[in-house]
Amino acid sequence: MKLKRVGCHSRISQLIDVAALSHTSQRRSLGNPSAGTSRARSPLRRLSVGKDAMALASCFSPPFRPPLCAGGRSLSPVACACAQTAATAPAAPSLPKALPAILDSRLIACVRAQDGNTAMEAACAALSGGISVVIRGLLKDYPSSVIGVGTVLNAEDARKAVKAGAQFLMSPGTVMEILLDLQNTDVLYIPGAMTPTEVLFAYNAGARIIKIYPVSVLGGCDYIKALKKPFPHIPVVASQGITTDSIGNYIECGASAVVLSDAIFEKEAMRQRNFDVIHRLAHLATRQVGQAGKC
């Protein structure tokens, strides 16, 4: 079967550029002793600190006298605080489109390529094979697909990815600047975590779903199963070293979704630009999810 080469939105090149920038930004932040200072001066940093400061100020404000309710009855301080919270609480943020798509498909395909054209054609092959969530590519023939950018390491790259049209971002760890900035937006942030402490920290900070990375090094399916015992309410994505035939095991052990890279975008197939193989592997992966069942 020969796949038809399709066109793309102009945002594809932007998303590919963002992926490349993440590596240069990583080198700059690791090699520059003043990187911490530049982060502190970023607009995202100032906004996040401002929100935290307001929250702390409200927590430590002096005790207030209970106001009178209708009819002259006074409320207790606790009841008054609850009433004020209910009256002033902002409306619940809309659910990012990417989250239900990820929970429904159970698969996130992560494509890495040497050039933008190869990445786009590989993403097309995966989408035509049944994958609905892809990192780093937006093909106009698949408007219902959900597009994201992976390995986002700092707020600067996050801004560029969102501007380019990314609907979700993933990181190998938890970047608080990104997490705080994307709260109450329609862009989903999936921070990475390795230990139970990191999982709980990210969840309490506002993460809706958390990537467990590098899962195969940590113990694979058994590690996911162990994590879900204390955290049955926290959705997790298993990432790194997952093979097609292990997808069902990860889902049965409690993973809400898995990230597949080489299992779909096989290195030799990518080198040879053999997109028929990628299409077949993507179709096989979606079948594995179907056999595992959905919650």
Predicted local distance difference test score (pLDDT) of residue 280: 97
Predicted local distance difference test score (pLDDT) of residue 23: 39
Predicted local distance difference test score (pLDDT) of residue 115: 83
Predicted local distance difference test score (pLDDT) of residue 94: 67
pTM exceeds 0.75 for this model: no
Please compute the mean of the pLDDT values over residues 244-255 and round it to a whole number: 97
Confidence label for 143 from pLDDT (cuts 50, 70 and 90):
low
Predicted local distance difference test score (pLDDT) of residue 92: 52
What token pair was written down for 49? 């600190």
CA-to-CA separations, 243 to 17, 29, 135, 165, 239, in angstroms, rounded: 28, 33, 18, 29, 10
Percent of the chain with pLDDT over 90: 52
Whole-angstrom distance, CA of residue 279 vs CA of residue 69: 65
Residues 29-60: pLDDT tens digits? 434 444 444 333 333 332 222 222 222 222 22
Please compute the mean of the pLDDT values over residues 162-186 and round it to a whole number: 95
Predicted local distance difference test score (pLDDT) of residue 144: 73
8 A C-beta contact, residue 234 and residue 199: yes
Task: Provide the CATH number for the domain formed by 97-292 in this structure.
Answer: 3.20.20.70
pLDDT of 192 > 90? The answer is: yes
Residues 79-101: pLDDT tens digits? 333 344 444 444 555 689 899 99
Confidence label for 64 from pLDDT (cuts 50, 70 and 90):
very low
Which of 74-78, 118-122, 279-283 comes out lowest in average pLDDT?
Answer: 74-78
Q: What are phi and psi of 150, to 5 degrees?
A: -105, 165
Confidence label for 270 from pLDDT (cuts 50, 70 and 90):
very high
DSSP track, the chain: -PPPP--B-THHHHHHHHHHHHHHHHHHHHH-TTHHHHHHHSHHHHHHHHHHHHHHHHHTSPP-PPPB-GGGPBPPHHHHHHHHHHHHPPPPPPPPTHHHHHHHH-EEEE---SSHHHHHHHHHHHHHTT--EEES--BTT-TT-EEEE----SHHHHHHHHHHT-SEEE-SS--HHHHHHHTTSSSEEE-EE-SHHHHHHHHHTT-SSEEETTHHHHTTHHHHHHHHTT-TTS-EEEESS--GGGHHHHHHTT-SEEEESTTTS-HHHHHHT-HHHHHHHHHHHHHHHHHH---
Domain boundaries defined on the chain: 43-88, 97-292
Please compute the mean of the pLDDT values over residues 190-197 and round it to a whole number: 98
pLDDT of 223 > 70? The answer is: yes
pLDDT of 172 > 50? The answer is: yes
